[in-house]
Amino acid sequence: MSGQVTITLLKSKIGCTPNQKATLEALGLRKIRQAKTLPDTPAVRGMIYKVNHLVEVKEHAA
């Protein structure tokens, strides 16, 4: 895994578990439609997996 991924928060975190809210904070996503570009690492992929029903992911080639 190399390169970067852009993660966009599409749905509200209201009603999510505290773990999911903490994961969104760790990814740097606070508001709906906010996007962050992060390195494509196993740790980031794990966080994306936990909140994949709330976010959209776009991969960028290295």
Domains in the chain: boundaries: 4-60
| pTM exceeds 0.85 | yes
- What's domain 4-60's architecture? 2-Layer Sandwich (3.30)
Which residues does 18 contact at the CB level (< 8 Å), separation at least 6? none
What's the chain's length in residues?
62
| Neighbouring C-beta atoms of residue 54, cutoff 10 Å | 20
Q: Tokens representing 22?
A: 């903490």
Look up residue 29 and give its amino acid.
Answer: L
pLDDT digits (tens, 9 = 90+) for 13-62: 999 999 999 999 999 999 999 999 999 999 999 999 999 999 999 998 76
Classify strands 55-60 and 4-9 as parallel, antiparallel or unpaired: antiparallel
